[in-house]
Amino acid sequence: MNIGELFEGIISFGSIYDFIDGFVPEGLDWLAFTVGAVILAFIVINVMIMSTAVYTWFERRTLGRFQNRLGPNRWGPYGLLQPIADLLKLITKEDTTPDEADRWVMLLAPIVLLVPTLVVVAVVPFGDNSFLGRLNIGILFVLGVTSVNTIAIFMAGWGSANKYAMLGAMRGVAMLVSYEVPMALAVVGVLILSGSLAMFDIVQSQSIPFLIVQPLGFLIFVAAASAEMSRTPFDQIEAESELGSGYNTEYSGIKFALLFLAEFMAPIINSMIIVVLFLGGTNGPSIIPGQIWFIVKTFVVVFALLWVRATWPRLRVDQIMGFAWKGLFALSLLNIFAIAIEVVIFQDDAGNISTSSLWIMSAINWVLTVVAIVVTARVLGQNKLERPAPTPSPLANMYAEAD
């Protein structure tokens, strides 16, 4: 048995259900169904939480290398046990609530933020046969569920009765709602090409990765996704140097740990969705099982996002909104327009597009992408502003002879 089959056997709901159904008497299928679902949810949630723990370690070590320092290296080999130390510290801290706070809203916010992030995993196609939920509207479900975090962030900001938190939350709502639009529109390009909303079909239709076919859509989606998870250059919600810590300023203890968990899980989930939509998911040379391909691709995307975070400063709040509506929105409409026309031209009578046609489309789209980005940079960018050579002000002249 190769690794892929083993993995599918563990994670597919059908096999777990069949296994449990063998033990329960006739007529109690619902019990087997419930138990199977709980077991599967337990596995998936814990795998996600553990991978988030590893990711926090990876992020901190990598940032350390970017910044000429070591990163956490005390606790365990290469500091690998650092997430456990962090968690223990957070759990043992006092869980405070400010006097003025709206207790229930403040308590619920971390849960409302974390749950959608985990629910999204259910529809991600990890393998050829393994599905946690075979949803025919998978990508719609993803977009819908992830937009819940806007409410969670506003709940956290409102509930804590803190001005910094409130400012962060208000920025967050404005920004997240704005970036939902280009994100959804970037997905439309993928949907037109693949002709299906199901994540599995999207993966299947990528005989060449959609990154190559529609680079513009990929770039828009990555920018919007990094805004959705509020990472630099879009980290207005936290904006450490401006708002202290933004919406989670008043959180401590286990509630903060949950916020932290959701925040660090977001890059992994977003990378998975990027991999499914644009990098061909589990597709790859069959020497290595598809699941490994998926993990490797996710890792590459996570690293690229981390690289951006380590390098770039943050945009100002009005500039972020301007970038969404003036830049990304227009570009995503252009992307849809181009893809739609190309699909009409290249599809055959059965509605399929051959691989060679996809290559031609890629060539057209790359040219379009470069032109579109150069034009956008010209219109919105700052580099065009040439400065005159500085001339000394006549108000004070230190070379003048003293009288």
Partner 1 sequence: MTIRTEPVTINLGPQHPSTHGVFRLRVTFDGEVVLDVEPVFGYLHRGSEKLAESRTYVQIVTLTDRMDYIASMSNNLAYVKAVEKLADIEVPERAQYIRVISAELQRIASHMMATGFLLNDLGAFATPLMYCFRERERILDLFEMLCGARITLSYMRPGGVLQDAPDDFWPALDRIVEDLPASLDELEDLITSNEIVLTRTRGVGMLTAEQAIDNSVNGPMLRAAGVQWDLRKADPYEVYDRLEFDIPIGSDGDNFDRYTVRIQEMRESVRIIKQCIEQIPDGPVRAATPFFIRAPEGDAYASVEGPKGELGFYLVSDGGISPYRCKVRAPSFINLNPLREMLIGGKMGDLITTFGSIDIVLGEVDR
Amino acid letter for position 399: Y
Nearer to partner 1, 286 or 391 (CB): 391
Q: Is 2 a binder of partner 1 (CB under 8 A)?
A: no
Q: What are phi and psi of 400, to 5 degrees?
A: -70, 150
Q: Using CB under 8 A, which of the segments 126-134, 136-144, 197-205, 375-383 binds partner 1?
A: 375-383
Q: Is 77 a binder of partner 1 (CB under 8 A)?
A: no
Interacting residue with partner 1 among 14, 244, 253, 284 (CB under 8 A): 244
Nearer to partner 1, 69 or 74 (CB): 69
**Residue 227: partners with Cβ closer than 8 Å, 6 or more residues away:** 175, 176, 179, 234, 320, 324
Q: How far is the CB of 383 from partner 1 (least distance, A)?
A: 7
d(CA 101, CA 252): 14
Q: Using CB under 8 A, which of the segments 73-81, 136-144, 165-173, 282-290 binds partner 1?
A: 165-173
Q: 13: number of CA atoms within 13 Å, CB side?
A: 18
d(CA 75, CA 80): 7
**Residue 203: partners with Cβ closer than 8 Å, 6 or more residues away:** 125, 276, 280, 281, 282, 283
Q: Is 92 a binder of partner 1 (CB under 8 A)?
A: no
Q: Using CB under 8 A, which of the segments 83-91, 166-174, 175-183, 327-335 binds partner 1?
A: 166-174
Q: How far is the CB of 125 from partner 1 (least distance, A)?
A: 33
Nearer to partner 1, 164 or 210 (CB): 164
d(CA 159, CA 255): 13
Q: Measuring CA to CA, how many Å separate 224 from each of 58, 73, 294?
A: 23, 33, 22
Q: How many residues bind partner 1 (CB under 8 A)?
A: 46
Contact 116, 149 (CB under 8 A): yes
Element (H, E) at 30: helix 29-66
Q: Is 386 a binder of partner 1 (CB under 8 A)?
A: no
Interacting residue with partner 1 among 22, 25, 77, 390 (CB under 8 A): 390
Q: How far is the CB of 120 from partner 1 (least distance, A)?
A: 26
Interacting residue with partner 1 among 66, 75, 299, 329 (CB under 8 A): 66
Q: How far is the CB of 179 from partner 1 (least distance, A)?
A: 17
DSSP letter for 402, please.
P
**Site residues for partner 1, window 257-316 (CB under 8 A)?**
309-316
Transcribe 188-241 into DSSP letters. HHHHHHH--S-HHHHHHT-SS-HHHH-HHHHHHHHHHHHHHTT-TTS-TTT-HH
Spell out, one character per residue from 170 to 199, where the chain touches partner 1: x when CB under 8 A holds, - when not: xx----------------------------
d(CA 224, CA 234): 9
Nearer to partner 1, 19 or 307 (CB): 307
Nearer to partner 1, 8 or 238 (CB): 238
d(CA 274, CA 222): 7
Which residue in the block uniquely carries the two structure tokens 């409130």? 166
Q: How far is the CB of 73 from partner 1 (least distance, A)?
A: 16
Residues of this chain that bind partner 1 (CB under 8 A): 63, 66-69, 163-164, 167, 170-171, 232-233, 235, 239-242, 244, 309-319, 377, 381-383, 385, 387-393, 395-399
